[in-house]
Amino acid sequence: MINRRNILHGLAAGVSSAFLPNFASAAPSIKSGGGPKRVIFFMQNQGFDPRTCIPAGMKNSGSLAGIKLPEPISALEPFKERLQIINGLHGKHTSPSHSAFFGALGGYRGSDGVRPSASTIDYELSKVLPETLLPHLCVGMDSMENMKGKPTVANLSASGAGQPIFMHSNPNHLYEMLYGGISQGDIRSQHEARSGMFDRIEEMAAARGKTLPTADKQRFSQYVQGFNDINGLRGRLGKVSDHLRKFAPKVDDRYTNPEFETDWHDVNLDLGISALKSGITNVLTIGSGRGEIFGAWKGLGVEKQGHNLGHIDQPDNPIWIKIRQYNSRMLVKLMEELESVPEGSGTMMDKTLIVYTSNNADKQHTNGANWPVMLLGNCDGIFKSGCLTQLDGKRPINALYATILETVGVNSGRFNMSEQMAAKFDSGTGSLKEILA
């Protein structure tokens, strides 16, 4: 089970960069001639039924040109040439059932309450993409009750074995962390109070650690370093305050007096976008349902919530059409916002990859035999786009993650998969050539 010490360690892992980025010029691509500079993972809970994204009648790989997208993802129609639908990956070895939790992005066995057994793909990418103040940011969307009661949870991302990374769900807390140093009034007061509190905790923890037995000192020092990293992040953000003012979202009633949980979903997305555009981070993970079986969308007129949603067939269902359309509009907003920012000879979107999938394959109660994925953005021609890529069901999601790592210059071989596991669950080796241009 995840205990308090693991929680603190995970929080530390999420803010462990220690340098000031050069905002004046974009960092060069890791791999000459292509590869993403930033990656966004959008994880929807309750499964991603392939019939909600594959056009009717398409059973084999082919172009999407002249073909109408299904109603749930119809918002992506104007961006169809940037879309690659991948069907036929699997995650049987992750035992997803209600959710694979950390296993969805880790490519290993996951379950409720089970600690991560290794780092996840989003964290691994954060280590090799152009450096930023905050290597990796996770935001989680859920019911209002859950987001208020548990403003941070760790279910999807990890920096290593037993080291979860937290998702931020309360936008007021996240705003204060990112932009409290440039704010006024209550937000600035809260920022200063929290900073002082973290300073005192770090000092007390460091003093207490000196009295521990030798065997415990190393472990305890990790938590002390975690508070040091939190304080360091606040200080580094303060040093680029003039730059951050250009990107900080406007705080309105959706933060302090939301009518529906989707108000907080929307502003959490805005904060994630601002972190990307400002250069605070290059890796954003969005957990719609926060990697579990909960979640609510009353703001869309959906009264059912939580576990019961997973028992409803997704294809042609008005409830799931609304949820998937809402997600698609979020994807469109991500693309449009990044498209609006010049970068090099193009825009930020030209060097961005968006990965949309579910944390439990194709449906709530699943064995993971089919794990549909949508990619948005071809990263200057590295990935295929405007097409459906139909695979044979014999390659795992690990192969997708290894492929993305390869495009940024990292040859991971089999991402988080031993040769023994691969002999049972992977028919091939190396990257997925089928998804590359």
Q: 376 or 133: which carries more pLDDT confidence? A: 376
Q: 197 or 13: which carries more pLDDT confidence? A: 197
Percent of the residues in the chain that have a pLDDT greater than 70, as a whole number:
80
Residue ranges and CATH numbers for the domains of the chain are 23-170+240-435 (3.40.720)
The pLDDT of residue 242 is 86
The pLDDT of residue 336 is 98
pLDDT in tens, 269-321: 999 999 999 999 999 999 999 999 999 999 999 998 888 888 899 999 999 99
Lateral strand order in the sheet of 163-168: 62-63, 387-396, 83-90, 373-376, 352-358, 38-44, 283-288, 137-141, 163-168, 152-160
Query: Mean pLDDT, to the nearest integer, of 244-251?
Result: 92
Report the candidate in 161, 119, 148 with the shortest Cα–Cα distance to residue 136: 119
- Secondary structure letter of residue 34 according to DSSP: B
Q: Strands of 203-306 (E only): list them.
A: 283-288
Kindly tell me if the per-residue pLDDT of 218 is higher than 70: no
Contact 95, 425 (CB under 8 A): no
Type and span of the H or E element at 374: strand 373-376
Which DSSP string corresponds to 223-290?
Answer: HHHHHHHHHHHHHHHHHTHHHHTTTPPPP-HHHHS-SSHHHHHHHHHHHHHHHHHHTS-SEEEEEETT
The pLDDT of residue 3 is 37
Number of other CB atoms surrounding residue 338 within 10 Å: 22
pLDDT in tens, 67-94: 999 999 999 999 999 999 999 999 999 9
Backbone angles phi, psi at 220, to 5 degrees: -65, -35
pLDDT in tens, 147-180: 999 999 999 999 999 989 999 999 999 998 888 8
Q: Strands of 2-146 (E only): list them.
A: 38-44, 62-63, 83-90, 137-141
Backbone angles phi, psi at 401, to 5 degrees: -65, -40
Q: 232 or 430: which carries more pLDDT confidence? A: 430
The pLDDT of residue 17 is 34
Q: What's the CA dihedral at 378, 289, 334, 252 to 10 degrees? A: -170
Distance separating alpha carbons of residues 372 and 68, to the nearest angstrom:
19
Q: Average pLDDT of the chain?
A: 86
The pLDDT of residue 113 is 87
pLDDT in tens, 398-436: 999 999 999 999 988 899 999 999 999 999 988 999 999
- Tell me the three state secondary structure of residue 349: helix
Kindly tell me if the per-residue pLDDT of 193 is higher than 70: no
pLDDT in tens, 5-62: 333 333 333 333 333 343 333 333 334 457 899 999 999 999 999 999 999 999 999 9
Structure tokens at 379: 């990263």
- Give the N- to C-terminal CA distance of the chain in Å, as an integer: 42
Model confidence at 373, in pLDDT bands (50, 70, 90)? very high
Distance separating alpha carbons of residues 93 and 114, to the nearest angstrom:
15
Report the candidate in 404, 269, 400 with the shortest Cα–Cα distance to residue 328: 269
Distance separating alpha carbons of residues 93 and 423, to the nearest angstrom:
12
Q: 220 or 393: which carries more pLDDT confidence? A: 393
Cα distances (angstroms) measured from residue 347 to each of 88, 249, 336, 351, 419: 32, 20, 10, 8, 40
Residues 6+ positions from 288 with CB-CB distance below 8 Å: 42, 43, 44, 45, 141, 265, 295, 327
Instruction: Report the residue count for the chain.
Output: 437
Distance separating alpha carbons of residues 238 and 42, to the nearest angstrom:
29
The pLDDT of residue 239 is 80
